[in-house]
Amino acid sequence: MVKERNLHTTQLDEEAFETLFRSYFTFMCSFAHKFIPDMDVAKDIVHEVFTGLWEKRMEIDTSKPVKSYLFTAVNNKCLNYIRDHKKFDNAQEMGEVFANRYADEQNTLIEGEMKHTIQKTLDSLPEKCREVFELSRYEGLTYNEIAERLGISVKTVENQMGKALKIFRESLKEYLTLLLLMLLNGMN
């Protein structure tokens, strides 16, 4: 696929961009086509995303996976296109249309990227913060039980959980639309 070293420079140069375009254009068109039945429109959307990426190449943080940026940008442009060109009777109908556009392979890829981001975020938490989060979310302990186990106050547990959740919200914000779509799909 794409050589990661070409993508993780201080800015996206012409050679790296061309490699990125050749590697992902067709795949991104297929992804957009899951949302947009008209392949020409799907290609136009992907072209817009790549054009925007090129125009903003000096501002883009290439230390983050460019593939995630592409998925998010194409996803958002498709949702905007659907919003602007379709009328829905209710949220359920809208959810069905969006959910039906996702193929299993894209869901698996996105889910894998989300899991990686979650683990990376968890690993980046300060030690006490991570410990409190894991006891709460993975072991299901209450704040009182965590405080007792760690020998700290309940207020400290609350503060550490608040800090952890804030960090997670920030690191996962690009997946918000995708999570909503998955939730809507699960409601059917």
pLDDT exceeds 80 at position 178: no
Residue 155, Cβ neighbours under 10 Å: how many?
A: 10
CATH class, range 104-188: mainly alpha
- Angstrom distance (rounded) from CA 10 to CA 26: 26
Right CATH for 1-86 from 1.10.3470.10, 3.40.1190.10, 1.10.1740.10, 3.30.360.10: 1.10.1740.10
pLDDT value at residue 63:
67
Q: What is the pLDDT of residue 132?
A: 92
Asked if pLDDT for residue 15 goes beyond 60, the answer is yes
pLDDT the model gives residue 3: 40
**pLDDT value at 173 more than 60:** yes
Report angle CA 132, 134, 136 to the nearest 5 degrees.
70
pLDDT above 90 covers a percentage of the chain that reads 23
> In this model, does residue 99 exceed pLDDT 70?
no
Mean pLDDT of 13-42: 86
Average pLDDT for 108-114: 68
Residue 188: pLDDT band with limits 50, 70, 90: very low
pLDDT of residue 5: 38
Is residue 25 within 8 A of residue 33, CB to CB? The reply is: no
* CATH 1.10.10.10 domain extents, the chain: 104-188
Taking the mean position of all CA atoms in its chain, how far away is CA 188? 22
Mean pLDDT in residue range 161-167: 90
Query: Tell me, what's the pLDDT at 8?
Result: 41
The mean per-residue pLDDT over the stretch 31-53 comes to 89
Question: Residue 85 — very low, low, confident or very high, per pLDDT cuts 50/70/90?
Answer: confident
Which of 50, 24, 28 has the alpha carbon at shortest distance from 39? Answer: 28
Which residue do the tokens 């503060």 mark? 159
User: What's the chain's Rg over C-alpha atoms?
Assistant: 20
Confidence of residue 187 (pLDDT cuts 50, 70, 90): very low
Contact between residue 188 and residue 93 where contact means Cβ atoms under 8 Å apart:
no
Kindly tell me if the per-residue pLDDT of 127 is higher than 70.
yes
Q: Which residue intervals of the chain bear CATH 1.10.1740.10?
A: 1-86
Taking the C-alpha atoms of residue 47 and residue 42, their distance in angstroms, rounded to an integer, is 9
Residue 155 pLDDT > 90, yes or no?
A: yes
Q: State yes or no: pLDDT of 4 exceeds 50.
A: no
Compute the CA torsion angle 37, 41, 46, 48 (nearest 10 deg).
-150
